[in-house]
Structure 1
Amino acid sequence: MASERTALVFEDREYGRGRLEALAGGLARTLADGGVRAGDRVALMSSNRPEFVSAVLAIWRLGAAVVLLSPAWKEREAEHALAVTGPRYAVGDHPVLAGLMPMLHLDDPVEPVEPARGAYDPPDPRADAVLVFSSGTTGLPKAVRHTHASFGVAVAHWRDALGLTERDRIQITTPPSHILGLLNIVTALETGTWMRLHRRFDLERMLHHIEADRITVEMAVAPIALALASHPELESYDLSSLRYIMWGATPVTASVAETVTRRTGVRWVPAYGASELPVITCNPVEGARLDSAGRAAPGVSLRVVSLATGEPVGPGETGEIQARAESLMAGYLPEAATAEAFDDGWYRTGDVGHIDDGGWLRLTDRSKEMIKVRGFQVAPAEVEAVLHDHPDVADCAVFGVPDAADGEAIVAAVSVHRPVGSAELIGRVGDRLASYKRPRRVVFVPEIPRLPSGKVLRRVLKERHGRASDD
């Protein structure tokens, strides 16, 4: 019998789709024996590893929904996520999750079970498939609910936008708990695309495997693009197998992208999405532009509405970008947060820009106050809550400033009762929250500018202190 075609590679291990399905079958049986049933929610907090993939498949096979917790989170963040989503079961390899609820460890041996025909009913398309977290501007992260139907459409959109086929080869360096990581994994499996899963991001290993594995499509965010552009020995790697590099999470920095292309001959394909609607726009694989996030993905409708009136505006006019598609989330948890995310059925992205006569989208700003660091959304209120807990802090406000490497950098403006060091405050945030939520800089101010309503005037703070680091 011919050997099974490789679907996933991790370090020196290879997995065919059949082997992944058998591992998922064994884990599904263990979960079912533990009480997991259709409609349940199962928390998953895991490092990048093949067992993450089989765990997602096992949970879906039982008709349950997977709640993805970032392995970068500390106890406070994970505790909030569990409180919001209320999963009854947990799977993973992370001590934080294991400390909060009973957890089936991914290192525990699993006896593979070949799926018998008809052994499992296909999941209800209307049922929740995955819950990922997206921070709001006024509090702790919200859970984004995707059904099997909406996520399936997102996978089809991503496959078509990137032109992926079974002849392609990709590698996954982003955390699978993030919507892009999961989308890449599931799209590759559904398309038959060969993929390598990395334990963590490492630029040298990424470049090595582009050459060694003959990778055809690479994914990058701003920090990766900057690292490529500044790599002193970039030309020593054979990157000729790449069809393109996809740039996501932040608008393209043209000078950085052009430097990489000049040094390697590899072109870029910018794309734009959100946890709530994973594929909003993408440039065409042929004829991509660096000054645009692309055109609406097939099946996605876009409009721009006035920031002043909320009414739709014409081509070239600036306003909030709104979108709708069958890949749109079912809503948030807590449910009370859902209503404000929509405008007459259109998802409010919170991004500001315009669409020209040809349908090309250009993003210029954010109407929401979210800070986007390396593709991850950070809610100012979450960081502020940690700073406010310090006994010497009288008031504080957190805002983002442009940063070439990370997209945005976090700056904290703080007024104090008594002197306190910047390093102490930054370390306090780092101890309680994920590392990407740590302020790059603290500025001490006599008072935080606010409206009579109490709303922070972040625009004023940005004007006064709008740089990522001290000169």
Structure 2
Amino acid sequence: MSNFAHPDFPVDGLLRRAARRDPDGIAIRTATRSVGFAELDAWADRIAAYLDQELGGAAGARVGVAGVLDPVFAAAYYGTARSGATVVLVNPLVGEDGLRHVLGTARVEVALVPAATAGLLAKLRAELPALRAVVVTDAADGVVPAGTVPLHEALAGAPARPTGTPPADPGAVACVQFTTGTTGRPKGVLLTHRNIVANAKQIALAHRLDTGSVTLNHLPLYHVMHLNSGLYAGACQVLCQDPDPVASLAVAAEAGATHYYGLPARLHALAHDGRLAGAVHPGPQLTAVLSGGSALAPQTATTLRERLGVPVIQGYGMAELSPLTHCQQPDRYRPGMVGGVVPGTECRLVDLTTRRPVDVWSTGEVQVRGPQVMAGYLDGGHETRIDADGWFSTGDVGYLDDDGALRLVDRLADVFKHDNEIVAPSRVEQVIREDPRVADCIVADWPDAEHGALVWAGIILADGAAAGSGFPDDALPGLGILDVLDSITNRANEHLAAFEQIRFAEAIDAVPRTPTGKPERRSVRTQLRHRAAA
């Protein structure tokens, strides 16, 4: 770890450096526009000038920036950092309660958000006393909610920034990123400029990005890990705003994408889409499909690998880690693993009870150490889980192999015990999803006085699964839903240990997920406890 070096400048230095190296190069492309590095840098300057004026140059003031999949997010993100303010990342897909929590907890003073989010904030202004200005980022026609201002008007009224304005301290907090809240109320994670710049280099190296790379982001939001690593490498970033996974392949082909970024839920949908066989191939320049955010089913990875002819790999990290710590390599691909550590990072596993390090192949809690480990939580309101030696306890359970590659078992908060044996819901879900009659599923624990807990599975049936679909164990056409569920459960239980056996299964219409695609098991568990008690 001590040999890993990275630039020691503020986050916006990533953009400044890229603009100086290749001013006319394309930084970000969408279906309707392209923005060059120098143009994006100048745009960030103008936003910084507006914030200087609005905030009076108050270093560390907090500015909410919505992570829309659009170049305006990059300009607002780097412009805020350049002004000396702290970026508070805002998920525009959350509702009023989520916005109230994020903007209120962080005491956001200025919000740069799309019109839809601005409309929700208009209802909450009385509950957000720190919020002094809402700037609408997608109001080209000037039509905005009352009490807000279009971005172009805000920038037009701001004077130019004085030359020689000192940059932010690389050790200062640059960004507040809230956790997904799968195990509790979302927490604000404090990331320094140094955390983020270090991780930008780590990701660029792990993903093998350079100036010739073209990244296709098929994501619902613009994630800062892709933004920062792309800028570090000087790559061209293509934003696919069409949620259709098959359409994204055509966009990748047209753009000449070398890297395809997607969420597990979207990749799962793509792998099971009947149009995949006839879809446009992204082209020979594509080197990998990369997944993150939650576990990718090995069968999904195998299906896409066979169809696209490139490795389908995943990484591992979290908001507290800026976010990446592990990543598979295309030439060392193994289904189900999340790979070795990114440069400059250490990883170890500790026993869940004794907290002592365990040997390879032994299950324990994942701990990591490196320059990307967060500075702490917002207002110090939570345990940081960082010990005196700098090891961060992730709350995830897994094991390491002889090569140092990590395999995750599940979240520490999600695993449960059946007769004192640890059941990992994600492991059971992977087995269930191998059945072609299953479109998606979620597993949780059903309370049981004798065994501690029993395995419950909520299953979304694939189209035709209960209508004589010709699957091998369909004895007769037109099986009822309960019969199909029994058949799916029996098939899965053949591949599960005794303590993992599915005891309850029912058909559901949707799997509750966070905006980033992670299964929201906490709400399911709460419902099951109420039902079991009744």
| Same fold per superposition (TM over 0.5) | yes
Cα distance in 1, alignment partners of residues 93 and 403 from structure 2: 41
Shift of 1:128: 1.0
- Is it true that 1:190 corresponds to 2:232 in the alignment? yes
Cα pair 2:240 2:251 within 8 Å, conserved: no
Which amino acid counterpart does residue 103 of structure 1 have in structure 2? V
User: Residue deviations 1:162-199, cap 9 Å, x none?
Assistant: 0001101012232446xxx1110121122111111233
Query: Which position in structure 2 is the counterpart of 1:238?
Result: 281
Question: After the TM superposition, which residues 14-413 of structure 1 pair with which residues of structure 2 at under 5 Å, given as runs?
Answer: 14-37=34-57, 38-45=59-66, 47-93=68-114, 94=117, 95-99=119-123, 100=125, 101=131, 102-106=133-137, 107=139, 108=150, 109=152, 110-111=155-156, 118-135=163-180, 139-176=184-221, 181-199=223-241, 201-236=243-278, 237-240=280-283, 241-277=285-321, 278-340=323-385, 342=387, 344-369=389-414, 402=429, 404=433, 409=442
Cα distance in 1, alignment partners of residues 288 and 89 from structure 2: 29
Cα pair 1:92 1:103 within 8 Å, conserved: yes
Cα distance in 1, alignment partners of residues 43 and 135 from structure 2: 14
Aligned residue for 1:314, secondary structure, equals coil
Which amino acid counterpart does residue 73 of structure 1 have in structure 2? V
Cα pair 1:219 1:246 within 8 Å, conserved: yes
Cα distance in 2, alignment partners of residues 219 and 209 from structure 1: 12
Shift of 1:24: 1.5
Cα pair 1:222 1:407 within 8 Å, conserved: no
Cα pair 1:28 1:59 within 8 Å, conserved: yes
User: Residue deviations 1:363-396, cap 9 Å, x none?
Assistant: 112212499xxxxxxxxxxxxxxxxxxxxxxxxx
Aligned residue for 1:58, secondary structure, equals helix
User: Residue deviations 1:100-133, cap 9 Å, x none?
Assistant: 3430222321349998894332211111111111
TM-score by length of 1: 0.77
Shift of 1:47: 2.9
Cα distance in 1, alignment partners of residues 100 and 159 from structure 2: 35
Larger deviation, residues 101-110 vs 160-169: 101-110
Aligned residue for 2:112, secondary structure, equals strand
Cα pair 2:259 2:288 within 8 Å, conserved: yes
Aligned residue for 1:280, secondary structure, equals strand
User: Residue deviations 1:406-426, cap 9 Å, x none?
Assistant: 987387989xxxxxxxxxxx9
Aligned residue for 2:324, secondary structure, equals coil
Cα pair 1:84 1:334 within 8 Å, conserved: no
Cα distance in 2, alignment partners of residues 349 and 331 from structure 1: 13
Shift of 1:267: 1.6
TM-score by length of 2: 0.68
Shift of 1:276: 0.9
Cα distance in 1, alignment partners of residues 236 and 189 from structure 2: 28
Cα distance in 2, alignment partners of residues 370 and 149 from structure 1: 34
Cα pair 2:289 2:313 within 8 Å, conserved: yes
User: Residue deviations 1:22-66, cap 9 Å, x none?
Assistant: 111222222222125321111123532221111111101111111
Cα distance in 1, alignment partners of residues 415 and 105 from structure 2: 20
Shift of 1:312: 1.0
Query: Which position in structure 1 is the counterpart of 2:146?
Result: none
Percent of aligned positions that are identical:
27
Aligned residue for 1:34, secondary structure, equals helix
Cα pair 1:36 1:89 within 8 Å, conserved: no
Which of the pair has more CA radius of gyration? 2
Aligned residue for 2:393, secondary structure, equals strand
Aligned residue for 2:282, secondary structure, equals coil
Aligned length: 404
Larger deviation, residues 243-252 vs 13-22: 243-252
Cα 1:67–1:120, aligned 2, differ >3 Å: closer, same or farther?
Answer: same
Aligned residue for 2:197, secondary structure, equals helix
Shift of 1:239: 2.1
Cα pair 1:174 1:200 within 8 Å, conserved: no
